Structure 1
């Protein structure tokens, strides 16, 4: 089944450097995205409740964004991306999540991201 691209925007009251660390380091990702994260080169292994999934970091802009592709999606144009956007006038920091899901799973996928970002906000105290 074909996957559909979707995008979510979350306001995050923190500095871009702290947010970027939470998006790219094993310790940062373990705070909110997975129970544990191991990194070997560009391969990130995420652990949740006894299961694990591996994703490759396929793109990174220092201080701005990171893009991962799940091992199962290799060879496809599917990925998930975390992008930091700062409003030039208000200086508010937003985290833009771009991901793909099958059409009948989009609502569940969005809910997973909302829960993950809630954990992120808790871990950084905002």
Structure 2
């Protein structure tokens, strides 16, 4: 994966969080701790609370990208959580584990970050 998109994308993080990526306190202190869905089925993921899905996603991100910048962790985790949650609502089954869908969700996250970065660049050029 090309995580170069993360370099200098702090503003994209701010834009996404400011655009209402979830509840206002979604990233309150400790948001990335206590996830218990590492072996959850897609059905379990679908019925889990948002805070548990987000914290578990943060764990997945840290596992896959050990050197992830702390300022990028919220946006990457939120995108991975969104992808898994969207999939779990369509395929809430007990025979597929959520972590089995991480390759797809990390590809999705990389595409979304690329789009955010491009959108930010377009807006910056338009205001010059």
Q: Same fold (TM over 0.5)?
A: no
Q: Which has the higher strand share?
A: 1
Q: TM-score, normalising length from structure 2?
A: 0.37
